[in-house]
Amino acid sequence: MGKNVIEVSNVSRMFQVPGGEFWALKKINAAVPESSFVILKGRSGSGKTTLMNIISTLDNPTEGEVRIDGELVKDLSDYKKEEIRRRKMGFVFQAVSLIPSLNAFQNVEFSMRMAGIAPGPERDKRIEECLKMVGLGNRMNHMPAEMSGGEQQRVAIARALAHRPKLLLADEPTAELDSAMAARVAQLFGELSKKEGITILMTTHDVGLMGAADFLIELENGERIDV
Amino acid sequence: MLGIMLQKMWHKRWMNLSLLLGCILLVATAVCFPLYQEAAYNRMLQDEFNQYVANNGVWPAEFSSMISSDKDRTGKNIASMEKLMADIYKNLGVKEKYTTYFYTLPSGEIRSAISRQDAEGLEVRLGAKSGIEDHAVLINGEMISEDGYSDDGEIEVVISQACMVNLGLLVNETIIFRDYRDFDGNEIRMKIIGVFVEDDNKDYYWQESKGELDNVCLMKMDLFREMFTGDHAAKYKINCKYYAMFEYEDILASDVDHIVKWTDYYTEQSGYKGVLSRPLFRDVIDSYQNKYSRISATLVILQVPVLIMLAAFLLMISSQMYEMERNEISVIKSRGSSRGQIFRLYLYQALLLNGVGALLGMPLGLAMSKLLGSTRNFLVFDFSENLSVRYTPTSLIYMGAAILLGLICLAIPAIKHSKVSIVNLKQQKAARKKPLWEKLFVDLILLAVSGYGFYNFNHNSDKISEAVLKGESLDPILYMSSSVMIIGAGLLFLRLQPYFLQLIYTIGKKKWKPAAFVSFMENVKNGRKQQLIMLFLIMTVSLGMYHATVARTIVENSVRNAEYLDGADVIVKEVWTEIKTREGKPTGEYIEPNLDKYMLANWIDQYTKVIYDEQAYISTGGTNRQKVTLMGIHTKEFGQISWVNMNLNGEHFYNYLNEMAVVENGVLLSSDFRDKLGYKVGDTISYSNYGEKSVTGVIVDFFDYWPGYVPVVRSVTPDGELTSESSYLVVANYEYVRSKVGAVPYEVWIKQKEGTTQTTIYNWVQENDARLTKYINRDSDLANAENDPLLQGTNGILTLGFVVTIILCGVGYLIYWIMSIRSRELVFGVLRASGFHKGELFQVLINEQIFCGFLSILAGFGIGKITSMMFVPIIQKAYASTAQVLPLELITNPFDIQRLIIVVGVVMIICLSVLTLMIMRMNVAKALKLGED
């Protein structure tokens, strides 16, 4: 294993709620090495989305610190964080998150534009490659509204990895898919992490998918329980 | 149900507030027009009355009747006439001012009780005039006592000063009729106890008996009746005059029809038609009704585009609301609510919004109509003069109609949407269709229609102005053509706009930065949703610009014309006394008034003498004469003082003056001398003024326009035919004319100092005891021109229309964008999560504002400009009058455009600020959560 892409040390996250404080995360430590496919597991309310938000730099921990690709996140400006998100990360969300006014090809192309990859045949080839990887090579010109939920989610995956991010974050990407499709997505993540050298962190509560991952991080009541 | 509705409304409170604003504006605008119109008509009616009083010094609001009653029927006739007078007020519905009965016996010879010689053979009329006690101003003696008898049993009478002078009667003298006897056969003895003057300058009580009292002895009215009417009365023929005078201040425009109906009934049909003469106020009302018919159609037509825009606004907002609530409606429907229930839910909501809208809209409408009354020009207000506005029944009808329209706009779309369940909704969302108008080429059809209208009117423009001058109201299609043109051109722009954007997009296809890319794609895919708001923007701006041009053009032309016709700031002509021979024959020579007062007047900047003789003539061979107007001027002074657009003749005005200045006997002639009479430059012409002394001059040039000169006098004959007659003007050097004909009456043309008011001049005239036969004041004529009800009404309605549409447009624009951002919150959240910077998000919004708002506004300006250039020259003919002399000119004022840009700019900035605030407050994590349910 190479160096760690994600390093989480002593991260706690407190929310102010009526009647006091609520600690969604308590002193979490985790390290995710390069090219690994990791599943973040836990029930609803276990704190996995909170941890995911902190790792994706959308949220800040109350205590502790996070390093992404060696950079200490809390030292970064908002702008720098946005730059990291658009260049080094790819996102797949639970809900369908394609831009409705763009077709499959343009949706994938868009993340490459965001990452500042210059236009040209290279870029177009990469887009086609990614769409083929998720099995949608023949639906490149379709609009999101013309595709099923699973197909849309696969476009989202293609979009998340097209610009060759260091880290792909997927928050419950299989929640709205049937189990066969969910298994295919998990398998795809496993293959991609090796083939593309991308570190993939996925949250799910679907026990059937755990086998595809290199290892698991399990949360319960804001605490890590797998170690 | 009510709870659900209120909860739903609270949930979408901004939406509902906008709808409420729409309802308020709809009611306010709908109500404001009739309120304003009514108030403007009221003012116009009062102006007519006031003007009549000012011009004629007579109170026109009165009925008068004159009968002479047979000696056998005296009592009956008088009683029935007195009842008639009382009925008139009641039936006309007017407020009594004075009712006056004036009865006299035919004149009879008298003798004086003191038997003085010079009173022999005098004739007087014995009479009574009701109200004399209150109106007569005694200058000698006293008023008649309560019972009408003096202590020694003689009849007390008062006489006018004129009567006293005329007949040489004395106060306290007793006179006795030679022939008249009372019922018992006793002689009638009258004691003159007082002399009065008629205060006829201030008291209209006297107006009908002017000059009639110089041989009348007035006694107590009750006593007169007792003695000469009724059963136990001496039977003589009585001349009766009746005046029913009423107040006109209270008469409203809405009363006019009623008053006219009764007046005409009385004077044309009733049993009294023979004795009631046509009252003076019928002329006043006729003149009012002429103006009314000229302006009412115009004012109504001008409102139509605004009302259409209002309805379109409500439809747009409500369809936006349903768009937002589609999910909700379809969910409610899928859970088993009936269509009726859903419809009722929205109907109640619409009722509530419209009810509150009406409640708030009525006072707003009242305020707006007051604002209208203060409009002086497009978007120019003058609050010094207030229009008195009150609610009228008509305005309530308009309110009802507005509420109905609001209900239809808000509730009807619910029917359509209540059909849709969640299943069809998903199917509908996937489909994207070309709008119907685009498929049917409505834009091109509208353009063709307006083009035809333009062509047609342009070719018949002479007929249009002729019709207008004859007082016919203008073809509404003419006004409509311009609106149709604006809508057509706006739609055409909407058809072309996506191709234009596509073109720009294609140019940089792969290279566009993410923000630009998102904006382009959004516009390409969802641009059609913006079409209504874009059309709205285009129409607001182009109608605004068009209306500004219309308003500016008609007002400016009218003002310039008034300025030209006056010729100078102030022109006065004093009375010149003609010197007569010892036998009393006129000599043709005059006493020149003293000019010192002009030199000393502190309000006069400069003055010049101008001979102005409209009765001059030239001989055109043999005994033929052509009537001309002769003007003698000091060229330099005249040039400095007179008002004329310097290049009106195609050459600088001063060039003409200079040409004449160097030729002592040179004359400048109006161009008809050349065109109709065949004169050439260098010819000599012989002209004569009043005094038959003829002068010979050399023609130095011809002109088309000259300060105050009307080349063609147009008028409408009583049969409604339009006639025109050339008028000829000869301009010569003052000194030369004077040296040939002597001192003839001249006018003084004055350039006043800044800040001179009418009062200053009036006081100056009083102080110097100047007797004027002519007085022209440019300022007052300009004010009159600007106060023309048609011009004011036009400006008011155009301005209000613009203000309303810009508010609607701003609100509509804001709502559209808030909805657009709301519906894209998830997408924006995804973008932000994927590392989109805030700045880039702004960039997206700004790009979209440019594609949608900015381009529309630009298109609006373009379309407004073209429409103005095409239609304003035709429209302004509707406002021309027989007094229009100068060629009509299309006038755009850069200030108007600037004002328009500022107003539109402020609205856009407000919109952008709100949108920015929304973006700032958008929480990425929360936005993403939105997608999770």
Mean pLDDT of all residues in B317-341: 72
More confident residue, B24 or B375: B24
**Alpha carbon of A57: minimum distance to chain B alpha carbons (Å):** 9
- Spell out which residues of chain A touch residue B524, defining contact as CB-CB under 8 Å: 101
Count of C-beta atoms within a 10 Å radius of residue B448: 13
- Residue B638, pLDDT above cutoff 60: yes
More confident residue, B307 or B775: B775
Mean pLDDT of all residues in B885-899: 77
Of the given ranges (B64-73, B279-288, B396-405), which has the lowest mean pLDDT? B64-73
pTM of the model: 0.73
Interacting residues of B229 by C-beta distance below 8 A, sequence separation 6+? B74, B75, B78, B238
Q: Kindly list the residues of chain A whose beta carbon comes within 8 Å of any beta carbon in chain B.
A: 53, 56, 58-59, 79, 81-87, 89-91, 93-97, 99-102, 106, 110-111, 113-114, 119-120, 123, 145-146
Per-residue pLDDT band at B765 (split at 50, 70, 90): confident
Per-residue pLDDT band at B800 (split at 50, 70, 90): confident
Domain ranges of chain B: 1-59+296-431, 97-252, 576-770
Distance between CA atoms of residues B825 and B837, nearest Å: 15
Q: For residue range B585-635, list pLDDT tens digits in order.
A: 777 778 888 888 888 888 888 999 998 888 888 876 667 778 888 889 998
- Spell out which residues of chain B touch residue A123, defining contact as CB-CB under 8 Å: 510
Q: Which residue of B has its CA nearest to A94?
A: B932
Under an 8 A CB cutoff, do B826 and A97 touch?
yes
Per-residue pLDDT band at A1 (split at 50, 70, 90): very low
- Spell out which residues of chain B touch residue A95, defining contact as CB-CB under 8 Å: 826, 928, 931-932
Q: Out of A20-29, A90-99, B56-65, B734-743, give the one with best mean pLDDT.
A: A20-29
Under an 8 A CB cutoff, do B517 and A87 touch?
no
pLDDT for the residue B690: 59
**Alpha carbon of B854: minimum distance to chain A alpha carbons (Å):** 22
CA A127 remoteness from chain centre: 19
Of the given ranges (A94-103, B51-60, B161-170, B715-724), which has the lowest mean pLDDT? B715-724
Average pLDDT, chain B: 81
Interacting residues of B784 by C-beta distance below 8 A, sequence separation 6+? B562
Q: Which residue of B has its CA nearest to A156?
A: B830
- Spell out which residues of chain A touch residue B511, defining contact as CB-CB under 8 Å: 119
A154 and A142 in contact (C-beta within 8 Å)? Answer: no
Per-residue pLDDT band at A39 (split at 50, 70, 90): very high
Q: Which residue of A has its CA nearest to B823?
A: A100
Best residue in B827, B851, B928, B929 for a mutation probing chain A (most A CBs within 10 Å): B928
**Alpha carbon of B916: minimum distance to chain A alpha carbons (Å):** 18
Under an 8 A CB cutoff, do A86 and B518 touch?
no
Under an 8 A CB cutoff, do A58 and B924 touch?
yes
Q: Which residue of A has its CA nearest to B926?
A: A58
Q: Which residue of A has its CA nearest to B829?
A: A97
Under an 8 A CB cutoff, do A110 and B514 touch?
yes
Mean pLDDT of all residues in B208-227: 84
Interacting residues of A143 by C-beta distance below 8 A, sequence separation 6+? A100, A102, A103, A104
**Alpha carbon of A86: minimum distance to chain B alpha carbons (Å):** 4
More confident residue, A89 or B384: A89
- Residue B431, pLDDT above cutoff 50: no
pLDDT for the residue B271: 79
**Alpha carbon of A90: minimum distance to chain B alpha carbons (Å):** 7
Query: At the topology level of CATH, where does A4-224 sit?
Result: Rossmann fold (3.40.50)
In B708-766 the beta strands, taken as DSSP E runs, fall at: 712-716, 722-726, 729-733, 747-752
Distance spanning both ends of chain A, measured CA to CA: 19
**Alpha carbon of B508: minimum distance to chain A alpha carbons (Å):** 11
**CB-defined contacts A:B, below 8 A:** 77
Of A89, A93, A119, the CB nearest to B830: A93
- Spell out which residues of chain B touch residue A89, defining contact as CB-CB under 8 Å: 834-835
Count of C-beta atoms within a 10 Å radius of residue B152: 8
Of B525, B833, B836, the CB nearest to A101: B525
Per-residue pLDDT band at A27 (split at 50, 70, 90): very high
Of B429, B522, B835, the CB nearest to A101: B522
Mean pLDDT of all residues in B219-240: 83
- Spell out which residues of chain B touch residue A114, defining contact as CB-CB under 8 Å: 514, 834-836
Mean pLDDT of all residues in B905-918: 81
- Spell out which residues of chain A touch residue B932, defining contact as CB-CB under 8 Å: 94-95
**Alpha carbon of B837: minimum distance to chain A alpha carbons (Å):** 6
B29 and B307 in contact (C-beta within 8 Å)? Answer: yes
Cα–Cα nearest to B820, from B914, B926, B685, B728: B914
pLDDT for the residue A11: 93
Domain ranges of chain A: 4-224
A204 CB-side CA count, 13 A = 27
Q: Which residue of B has its CA nearest to A100?
A: B827
pLDDT for the residue A63: 92
Q: For residue range A93-121, list pLDDT tens digits in order.
A: 877 678 887 889 988 988 888 888 888 88
pLDDT for the residue A65: 92
pLDDT for the residue B608: 92
In B596-746 the beta strands, taken as DSSP E runs, fall at: 604-619, 625-633, 666-670, 684-688, 694-703, 712-716, 722-726, 729-733
Under an 8 A CB cutoff, do B835 and A86 touch?
yes
- Residue B933, pLDDT above cutoff 60: no
**Alpha carbon of B513: minimum distance to chain A alpha carbons (Å):** 7
CA distances from B725 to B521, B712, B719, B863, B883 (A): 68, 5, 17, 41, 13
pLDDT for the residue B40: 81
Under an 8 A CB cutoff, do A145 and B430 touch?
yes
- Spell out which residues of chain B touch residue A96, defining contact as CB-CB under 8 Å: 931
- Residue B346, pLDDT above cutoff 50: yes
Under an 8 A CB cutoff, do A102 and B924 touch?
no
Distance between CA atoms of residues A90 and A163, nearest Å: 8
Per-residue pLDDT band at B859 (split at 50, 70, 90): very high
- Compute φ and ψ for A120, nearest 5 degrees: 150, 180
Q: Which residue of B has its CA nearest to A109?
A: B510
**Alpha carbon of B923: minimum distance to chain A alpha carbons (Å):** 10
Q: Kindly list the residues of chain B whose beta carbon comes within 8 Å of any beta carbon in chain A.
A: 429-430, 510-514, 517-518, 521-522, 524-526, 826-827, 830-837, 924-925, 928, 931-932
Per-residue pLDDT band at B931 (split at 50, 70, 90): very low
Under an 8 A CB cutoff, do B931 and A86 touch?
no
- Residue A12, pLDDT above cutoff 90: yes
One-letter amino acid at A87 equals: R
B859 and B490 in contact (C-beta within 8 Å)? Answer: yes
- Spell out which residues of chain B touch residue A127, defining contact as CB-CB under 8 Å: none
Burial classification of residue B427, based on how many CB atoms lie within 10 Å of its CB (0-12 exposed, 13-18 middle, 19 or more buried): exposed
Distance between CA atoms of residues B412 and B419, nearest Å: 12
- Residue B179, pLDDT above cutoff 70: yes
ipTM over 0.95: no
**Alpha carbon of A93: minimum distance to chain B alpha carbons (Å):** 8
B292 and B38 in contact (C-beta within 8 Å)? Answer: no
Count of C-beta atoms within a 10 Å radius of residue B7: 9
Per-residue pLDDT band at B926 (split at 50, 70, 90): low
Is the alpha carbon torsion for A119, A124, A125, A127 positive or negative? Answer: positive
Under an 8 A CB cutoff, do B833 and A119 touch?
no
**Alpha carbon of A58: minimum distance to chain B alpha carbons (Å):** 7
Stated as kind and residue range, the H or E segment containing B180 is strand B174-181
Per-residue pLDDT band at B927 (split at 50, 70, 90): low
pLDDT for the residue B430: 44
- Spell out which residues of chain A touch residue B920, defining contact as CB-CB under 8 Å: none
Mean pLDDT of all residues in B693-715: 85
pLDDT for the residue B928: 62
Share above pLDDT 90 across residues of chain B, in percent, rounded to a whole number: 3
- Residue B668, pLDDT above cutoff 50: yes
Distance between CA atoms of residues B247 and B424, nearest Å: 70
Distance between CA atoms of residues B688 and B906, nearest Å: 65
Under an 8 A CB cutoff, do A82 and B836 touch?
yes
b/e per residue, B630-654, with b = 16+ CB within 10 A?
Answer: bbbbbbebbbebbbbeeebbeeebe
**Alpha carbon of B506: minimum distance to chain A alpha carbons (Å):** 14
pLDDT for the residue A128: 92
- Spell out which residues of chain B touch residue A120, defining contact as CB-CB under 8 Å: 510
pLDDT for the residue B489: 93
